[in-house]
Each structure stands twice: as structure tokens, then as C-alpha cells.
Amino acid sequence: MLAALLAIHCSHAQPAKPYDIIGYYSGDGKSLSAYPIEKLTQLIFSFLHLKGNELAFDNEQRKQDLLEIVALKNKRNPSMKVLISLGGWGGCATCSPVFATAENRQAFANSVLQILQTTQTDGIDLDWEYPTIPGPPGHPYSADDKANFTDLIQRLRTTMGDKYELSFAAGGFDTFIAQSVDWAAVTPLVNRINLMTYDLINGYSKVTGHHTALYSRPSQKESTDNCVQQLLKLGVPANKLVIGAAFYSRVWANVAATNNGLDQSGQHTAGVSYKHFQEKLTPAQGFTAYWDDTAKATHFYNAEKQLFATTDDPQSIKAKVAYMKKYGLGGIMFWELREDAPVNGLLSVMEAAVKE
């Protein structure tokens, strides 16, 4: 009898859900064809924006770009889901006032469903930077954003039903975690939470650091681990958390050589995409790479030019994937695919590490 019961139990056991590998992408279908999209479980088309109280493409060409992407997905990776995304940094200027009314929130939800149906896409990712707290300079925000964001999520889920994916991009820093989201109310309604555990040292920072550190260190609390552990303590299920990686560096100029440029004052300047690392961040260009075994993060320093670059690289990507597995998280995502090398890029490193 016991053996029979065990057999019945095992026959109904569900296989472990595979980890998601999610890439944000702001390009078109033609450019996408150069990348190994077979390695992705999800691609997030970035970005659509508000037009009044509805979600809209910036122009007709962007709609055609999305349709090309869907066609390419159907041809090369039918199991990959394609989501549309609202906002982005600088792309949600009217979100706070528009989402302040129930009528507008419902109109937005209706417009999302219509776009999903007409483009045959699989869901939406909300990238409102940020509810309740300051985002881009001059963008309005309100203490009411938190409740309005909750209601927006509820209306989207009710309007779209369970057929479509619903996720949002969450700031990976303390203030966002503490103030922007009602985690208990929102988490059950979304498929996943994409943690922007990059830009933790950002373009407004006057002191260098690791912009996408895995672990905290004495001089920098903000990190992937700091973000994840807070959310786990708040009761967010591990399998709904997707940690973020950066396929680009952030660069500071006029950085002193002390500590090889780390924790030094400087002026933020243009970053470098991973696909250009071999042209711009190598010893031939005067850069030396340094691994921080506490933060599990890499930075580059050029003593002659006093340039400091902080980034993800193959070593830090592998460390993040190992962390994802250690805590049973839902997956790993990155900004963005256009910044990767189409061949032997960070996406390939990521996928290989996930499969190990």
C-alpha cells in the first residue's frame, strides 16, 4: 500500500521550473537576428510609453519592429515569450499623474490588452522609475503612487486574465524596496519581479563603486544580495525574484589611483557596451582588470588616463548565476541585448552557467 501511495505521489510531482533568462531589447527585428535568441526564455521589447492614459508605440515603425521580433521568435525560438514594456528611465514622465485616477488606470489596462492581442505578444513588464520616490529630475511623484501602483497591477491582472505574463522592473536599492511597492499586495498578482540590481552606483554618483555588485562591502551597502535578502524577509517568494546583470560598464574620469580607482571621487562619463570591451578596456588601451572577491565584481582602471570602469563580466555573471541557484530564485535578466557581443557574448556565458 505504501509503495502504491508513493507511486501515485511521484506520478503527480511537478518537475522543477527552469530558470528564466530574460533580456531587455530596444532594437528592431533585423538587428535581433544576429543574436542567439535561442538562449533566452523571454525578451522584453523596450519601450512603449503613455499617450494620454493609454499605452502606445512611439511611432508606427516601432510597432513594425515588434511584429518583426515576434515573427523571428516564431521562426527561431517559439517557446520564448515576448513582452512589451512601459517606461524606462526617463520614459515614465506622466505615470504618476496619469495613474492617479481609477479611470485612467483602467483605460491603460484596456489598451495593454488590445496591444497584446493585436501583436500576439505574451504580456507586459512595467518599468515605472519610480512610484513614490524621485526618479529622473523633474518627473512628478506622489505618496499616493504606491497605492495607485497596486491598483494598476490589480486592474492589469483582472483585465488580461492569467493568459498573459505580468512583471515589473524594481529598483534594486533600499529606498525603492522600503517605499515604492506594497509587496504583500502586488507579489501574488505578478509572474516575476525583475530586480534592477545594476546602476546601484549611477550617473549621479560622485564617488566610484561597483554599479552591479553581487555582495555588499564596508563602503557600499547596495548590492544584489542586499536587495534579494530584504525581499525574502518581506515574504516575496524566491521563485518570483529575477536578479539583474548589466551588459555595459559605467565609467568615471579624473579618478585617483588610490585603491586602483575604487571608492574615489570622479566625474561620470560615457560607458562602454560589452561588445566594445575588447576595443576599449584592455591592457593595450591602458586598462587593468581587478576582481573584488568581497563584492564578486570586476572593475577596470587606467592609471595614465585616470579612468575607472565598473561592470559585469564573465566572472561576475557566473557568480550571479551561482547565487541565483543557491537561493532558488526565478532567473536572471539583463539590460540589454544590443550591448552584448552577438557571438561569444555575456548571454552565452549566462546560459552556459545556468545549464551547469
Residue 49, pLDDT score: 98
Query: Is residue 142 within 8 Å of 134, Cβ to Cβ?
Result: no
Residue 16, pLDDT score: 58
- Encode burial over 248-285: b for 16+ CB neighbours within 10 A, e otherwise: bbbbbeebeeeebbbbbebebeebbbbbebeebbeeee
Quote the pTM value. Answer: 0.95
The CATH number of domain 18-246+312-355 is 3.20.20.80? yes
Q: Which of 103, 129, 222, 339 is labelled catalytic? A: 129
pLDDT tops 70 at residue 139: yes
Largest CA distance in the chain: 76
More confident position, 9 or 169: 169
Q: Choose among 330, 308, 168, 184: nearest CA to 243.
A: 330
What are the tens digits of pLDDT across the range 246-301? Answer: 999 999 999 999 999 999 999 999 999 999 999 999 999 999 999 999 999 999 99
Q: The dihedral of CA 329, 335, 338, 343: what is its sign?
A: negative
pLDDT tops 70 at residue 2: no
CA distance 145 to 65: 32
Q: Express as a percent the part of the chain with pLDDT over 70.
A: 95
Query: Is residue 74 within 8 Å of 29, Cβ to Cβ?
Result: no
Residue 115, pLDDT score: 98
Residue 103 annotated among the catalytic residues of the structure: no
Residue 5, pLDDT score: 36
What the block records as the C-alpha cell of 2 is 505504501
What the block records as the C-alpha cell of 309 is 570602469
What the block records as the C-alpha cell of 73 is 521568435
pLDDT grade for 15, boundaries at 50, 70 and 90: very low
The ranges assigned to domains in the chain are 18-246+312-355
Residue 306, pLDDT score: 98
Residue 13, pLDDT score: 36
Residue 19 per-residue DSSP state: P
Question: Cell 579618478 appears where?
Answer: 255
Residue 18 per-residue DSSP state: P
Query: Is residue 36 within 8 Å of 347, Cβ to Cβ?
Result: yes
Residue 91, pLDDT score: 98
Neighbours of 115 (CB within 10 A): 18
pLDDT grade for 210, boundaries at 50, 70 and 90: very high
Average pLDDT over residues 216-233: 98
What the block records as the C-alpha cell of 204 is 549621479
What are the tens digits of pLDDT across the range 37-65? Answer: 999 999 999 999 999 999 999 999 999 99
Which helix (H) or strand (E) segment is 50 a member of?
strand 42-51
Neighbours of 231 (CB within 10 A): 21
**Helix extents (H) in the chain:** 2-11, 29-32, 60-76, 95-98, 102-119, 145-160, 174-179, 183-186, 224-233, 277-280, 314-326, 346-355
CA distances to 97, 112, 150, 245 from 181, rounded to whole Å, are 17, 21, 7, 22
pLDDT tops 60 at residue 8: no
CA distance 141 to 322: 37
pLDDT tops 50 at residue 202: yes
For residue 25, list its beta bridge partners: 45
Residue 303, pLDDT score: 98
pLDDT tops 70 at residue 4: no
Query: Is residue 298 within 8 Å of 291, Cβ to Cβ?
Result: yes
Residue 6, pLDDT score: 37
